Structure 1
Amino acid sequence: MLYLILLRYRAPLAELDRYLAAHREFLHRHYAAGHFLLSGRQEPRVGGAILARGLSREEVGGWLVEDPFHKEGLADYEVIAWAPGLRAAEVPAAWAPDAEVVERVVEN
């Protein structure tokens, strides 16, 4: 199952930036484990988003308590279970194996 994780910052950016390196280490650990597929900040910089792959919402929630932003009370998290029904052909099948592939049509 895929999960959209939305972070909403609760603290000023200057305080968040003090923990940014540790937050990135947390992200890297979960990329290396195969849990995270995409991540980045929102624009404007009011929060972030992570696309994750996991077995359950509880499993994903367990990962998030390790995030320094969570430990320091700097962000709120919303975890949305997501079952894509369609995917573009260039999106890896492993990300959404049950989704129907929609081929791009190039018009001349």
Structure 2
Amino acid sequence: MFIINLTYTSALEKIDEFLNEHIAFLNEQYSLGNFLASGRKVPRTGGIILSNVKSKSELEKIVAEDPFHQNNLANYELTEFIPTKTCKELEFLVEG
């Protein structure tokens, strides 16, 4: 499992220009089963995505498709972790 930590490198006005494309990218990844949760940071300096993609190299290819990445609007930090404890609703992550 991975945490994707996006940090904006552009003004929010520029981010907002590509927001609909970014949301379409997220929706596609959810439909493929690659993303589990996502949302904005508070304050709005970027976002966080939880991904259950199996390998970092596969995730790097997916992230490269994000319009924010393609337009150099954000930096991406990928952190791999192994969930060993979850709430009942997410038990499949530990069992998986």
TM class by smaller structure: over 0.9
Residues in 1 aligned to 2:70 and 2:3: alpha-carbon distance in whole angstroms: 20
* Residue 93 of structure 2 corresponds to residue 95 of structure 1: yes
* Cα-Cα RMSD: 1.0
Q: Gapped runs of 5+ residues in structure 2? A: none
Residues in 1 aligned to 2:89 and 2:33: alpha-carbon distance in whole angstroms: 19
Residues in 2 aligned to 1:43 and 1:80: alpha-carbon distance in whole angstroms: 20
Q: How many aligned positions are there?
A: 96
Q: Is the contact made by 2:83 and 2:93 (CA closer than 8 Å) also made in structure 1?
A: no
1:86 aligned counterpart, secondary structure: coil
2:72 aligned counterpart, secondary structure: coil
Query: Higher RCO, 1 or 2 (CA under 8 Å, sep at least 6)?
Result: 2
**Superposition TM-score, scaled by structure 1 size:** 0.85
Partner of 2:77: 78
**Superposition TM-score, scaled by structure 2 size:** 0.95
Query: Could you list the per-position Cα deviations for residues 13-65 of structure 1 after superposition, in whole angstroms to 9, with x for gaps in the alignment?
Result: 00000000000000000000000000001000001000001110000010000
As a proportion of its length, which structure holds more strand? 1
As a proportion of its length, which structure holds more helix? 2
Q: Gapped runs of 5+ residues in structure 1? A: 99-108
Stretches of 4+ aligned residues off by more than 3 angstroms: none
Residues in 2 aligned to 1:97 and 1:69: alpha-carbon distance in whole angstroms: 33
